[in-house]
Amino acid sequence: MAGRLQAELLKSMVVKNNGLDMDVTVLDSTDSTNNWSLQQCREGRAMPFSCFAEEQTSGRGRRGKQWLMVGGANIAMSVAWTFDLQPQQLQLLPLSIALAIVDTLEELNLKNVQIKWPNDVYVRDKKIAGILIDAISVRKKSHQFEAETSHVGRGKIAMVIGVGLNYDMSLISAALEQSGDQIMPELTDVSNEMEGQSIEKSVERGEVASSLLRNIIKVCQCFQYEHNGYLERFRDQYDYCKNKNIKVTMENKAIMSGVALGVNNNAELLVMIDGKQHVFNSAEVSVKA
């Protein structure tokens, strides 16, 4: 098991690299770092802030999926950040945060890192990280911020940006094998990829967490002015689905198959289905073999 994350060390690295004195909390255990952060926002905690969890008992992915997490083995974190942007611009945030994860992995010299729309990061065709973003509307009341869960609307918005990054899945694999289950074959982790790509340098989980936090905050700091640049970078280098045969599963469980054409300027997925272009702003996507 990797060593425990150190809040003061993480905070000092943010001050040094991002020029931001931001509160960082490391929780021994929580149901979800996003849930914890959302509650902190409702209670009026000053933003921005970040939290990490050594153990996450009910980690959430998109569409209610569970994020596997064994204590002290992987990285589960959230950043609460306020943006004063239009909803259309904020649609580009998930892909921009995915690029922060890409930067973290490429700093480790990992190759073949790509982003699967809308919010997963892959290495060599296997998922290594996922993103879940919750929106909170923020308004001033009696000299304190009052936050309420809301759809993204006009005005200042607090985004709770949750990231799960697989650092070492071996403990999860062992636990599942002992129970008679098998780990999903499409998952990978930092430790496995560094070994598989013959990268000799070993890296501690705390180093990866620090780099991840630094890169996410950098995106948040620059997003207002650089969101279109992030979109173009995704299009040019990291679109995992483009030109591949994919299956699109809608919220009503309807399934459509076609060829991914990339994304439009609102980060919506474009798919050619039976000779007609379709646009998706929310769906579950899988790439066909």
Query: Residue 23 and residue 267: Cα distance in Å, rounded?
Result: 31
If asked whether residues 249 and 234 sit together in one domain, one would say: no
Q: What is the mean predicted confidence (pLDDT) over 127-153?
A: 63
We report the CATH number of the domain holding residue 232 as 3.30.930.10
Phi, psi of 236 (to 5 degrees): -75, -35
Give the tens place of pLDDT for each residue, 217-241: 999 999 999 999 999 999 999 999 9
Average pLDDT of every residue of the chain: 87
21, part of any domain = yes
In sequence order, what DSSP letters do the residues of 67-100 get, joined into one string?
Answer: PP--TTTSEEEEEEEEE---HHHHTTHHHHHHHH
pLDDT at residue 68 in the model: 57
If asked whether residues 88 and 120 sit together in one domain, one would say: yes
If asked whether residues 151 and 250 sit together in one domain, one would say: no
Query: Residue 93 and residue 157: Cα distance in Å, rounded?
Result: 12
pLDDT at residue 122 in the model: 98
Tell me what percent of the residues of the chain surpass a pLDDT of 90: 72
pLDDT at 146 over 60: no
Neighbours of 166 (CB within 10 A): 26
204, part of any domain = yes
We report the CATH number of the domain holding residue 269 as 2.30.30.100
pLDDT at 176 over 70: no
If asked whether residues 115 and 164 sit together in one domain, one would say: yes
If asked whether residues 164 and 251 sit together in one domain, one would say: no
1, part of any domain = no
If asked whether residues 226 and 262 sit together in one domain, one would say: no
If asked whether residues 127 and 264 sit together in one domain, one would say: no
2, part of any domain = no
Which residue type is seen at 214?
R
Beta bridge partners of 27: 53
If asked whether residues 74 and 130 sit together in one domain, one would say: yes
Give the tens place of pLDDT for each residue, 66-95: 555 566 689 999 999 999 888 888 999 999
If asked whether residues 200 and 260 sit together in one domain, one would say: no
E-strand ranges in the chain read 23-30, 49-56, 75-83, 113-116, 120-123, 126-141, 144-149, 157-165, 245-249, 255-263, 269-273, 276-280, 284-287
If asked whether residues 173 and 280 sit together in one domain, one would say: no
* Region of residue 35 (left: phi > 0; alpha: psi -120 to 50; beta: else): alpha
- Using DSSP's 3-state secondary structure scheme, residue 166 falls into coil
If asked whether residues 150 and 44 sit together in one domain, one would say: yes
- Using DSSP's 3-state secondary structure scheme, residue 31 falls into coil
Give the chain's domain count. 2
Handedness of CA 153, 251, 164, 285 (dihedral sign): negative
pLDDT at 26 over 60: yes
Contact of 136 with 148, CB cutoff 8 Å: yes
Neighbours of 154 (CB within 10 A): 10
Please state, in angstroms and as integers, the Cα–Cα distance from residue 51 to each residue in 113, 132, 202, 211, 238, following that order.
Answer: 25, 14, 25, 14, 28
If asked whether residues 224 and 256 sit together in one domain, one would say: no
Q: What is the mean predicted confidence (pLDDT) over 28-46?
A: 94
Beta bridge partners of 242: none
What's the domain range around 282? 245-287
